Amino acid sequence: MRLLIITQKVDQNDDVLGFFHDWIKRFAERCERVEVICLYEGVHNLPENVRVHSLGKEIGVGRLGRILGLYKYLWELRAAYDSVFVHMNPEYVALAGWWWRLTGKRIVLWYTHREVDLKLRIAAFFTNVIATAAPESMRLSSRKTKVVGHGVDVARFSSSPVHPISDAPKLVSVGRITPIKDVQTMIDAVLMMRAAGTPATLTLIGAPATSADKAYELAMHERAAHDPSAVIFYGSVPNTRLQELLPQFDISLNACPTGGIDKAVLESMAAGLPVVAANEAFKPYFGDHAEQLLFEHGNAQDLANKIESLPKSDTSLQAYMREQVRRMGDVSVVIDKLVALLG
């Protein structure tokens, strides 16, 4: 198979999209040739059968220029690929789906987001398949939807042995600092635990992305200010560093409401951390422990209670977390499924 991939960013050091560099390498192992069109080209180290074509966001090319660049590459590469994989950008299927259909290319759109807008509806008309991580990850009702799992490199995150939870539990949450992540509930929970005598700490790995997010982060600093050692605002880190950082913690938290599967949660599970989350989409991953690990969204006291109730010395829960994500969301399994859908 000769494959065209369209994605936002090719940069192995990116804190959010760095994982996709590994996806491209894995597609390259299964394809004769891979052409990649990206909005932004950063640091990468890809096989010889991969070529990267940037639309120039890294050098300041504007939206119109990027659209014209897309059509230029589609014309230049028209005979170089048989199938198209569009990652999280339905607007490109909306812009080019007619061309791909006209030229007989098979189209698979990867989409994991709670938003359903006009771009997605148009993309759904043109695409052959909408691949997603879980039923809750794609809210548009379509017979084209195929659930394939999320695609975590379990081997990269599972080199460290699991360990028991400390009496002074070190909590971590990975993701952008933004209201949908409900950082406030996590901060309130750790403050409640400390007030009740448990010397827990919360480390937030991530950074704000917009001016509204920056204002939210400032409000969260103020919320945690009366107990300065309770919350550590670590900032963003390259995705390639997470496998080193996560084993330093005891429990991973995710306070997002029910919706798409957050890959950072699965990476925590692969690292052998118990995860306490509000998103009920994780029920299949949590399996027999779902009641133990799911808390009521926005309820800081319930979150604190769930953290406190986790067994301290028994590490069987940690091992279970790792095995569940290996079985349900390992990247090799997911890429194999996507290649089959593209073929």
Read off the pLDDT of residues 218-257 as tens digits, 9 standing for 90 and up: 999 999 998 999 999 999 999 889 999 999 999 999 999 9
Average predicted confidence (pLDDT) for the chain: 95
**191 and 285 fall within a common domain:** yes
**168 and 269 fall within a common domain:** yes
* Residue 7, pLDDT above cutoff 90: yes
The domain that holds 20 is classified in CATH as 3.40.50.2000
**186 and 256 fall within a common domain:** yes
The predicted structure's pLDDT at residue 34: 98
Residues 208-226: what's their mean pLDDT?
96
The predicted structure's pLDDT at residue 225: 95
**282 and 174 fall within a common domain:** yes
328: pLDDT confidence band, cut at 50, 70 and 90?
confident
Read off the pLDDT of residues 26-50 as tens digits, 9 standing for 90 and up: 999 999 999 999 999 999 999 999 9
Q: Residue 3 gets which letter from DSSP? A: E
Residues 329-342: what's their mean pLDDT?
94
The predicted structure's pLDDT at residue 261: 81
**196 and 278 fall within a common domain:** yes
Q: What angle do CA 180, 210, 61 make, to 5 degrees?
A: 130
The predicted structure's pLDDT at residue 15: 85
8 backbone dihedrals φ, ψ, rounded to 5°: -70, -45
The predicted structure's pLDDT at residue 137: 83
**337 and 275 fall within a common domain:** no
**219 and 234 fall within a common domain:** yes
* Residue 217, pLDDT above cutoff 80: yes
User: What kind and span of H or E run contains 189?
Assistant: helix 183-195
The predicted structure's pLDDT at residue 239: 86
Radius of gyration of the chain (CA): 21
The predicted structure's pLDDT at residue 260: 76
**105 and 187 fall within a common domain:** no
User: Higher pLDDT residue, 205 or 226?
Assistant: 205
**191 and 242 fall within a common domain:** yes
* Residue 135, pLDDT above cutoff 90: no
The predicted structure's pLDDT at residue 84: 98
**147 and 214 fall within a common domain:** no
**145 and 225 fall within a common domain:** no
126: pLDDT confidence band, cut at 50, 70 and 90?
very high
Distance CA 14, CA 177 (A): 16
Read off the pLDDT of residues 51-62 as tens digits, 9 standing for 90 and up: 999 999 999 999
Query: Could you give the number of structural domains in the chain?
Result: 2
The predicted structure's pLDDT at residue 240: 87
Residues 326-334: what's their mean pLDDT?
90
Domain range for 91: 2-152+330-342
**78 and 24 fall within a common domain:** yes
Residues 196-225: what's their mean pLDDT?
97
The predicted structure's pLDDT at residue 134: 82
Q: At CB < 8 A and 24+ separation, what contacts does 92-96 make?
A: 92/6, 93/122, 93/123, 93/126, 93/127, 94/119, 94/122, 94/123, 94/126, 95/67, 95/70, 96/70, 96/71
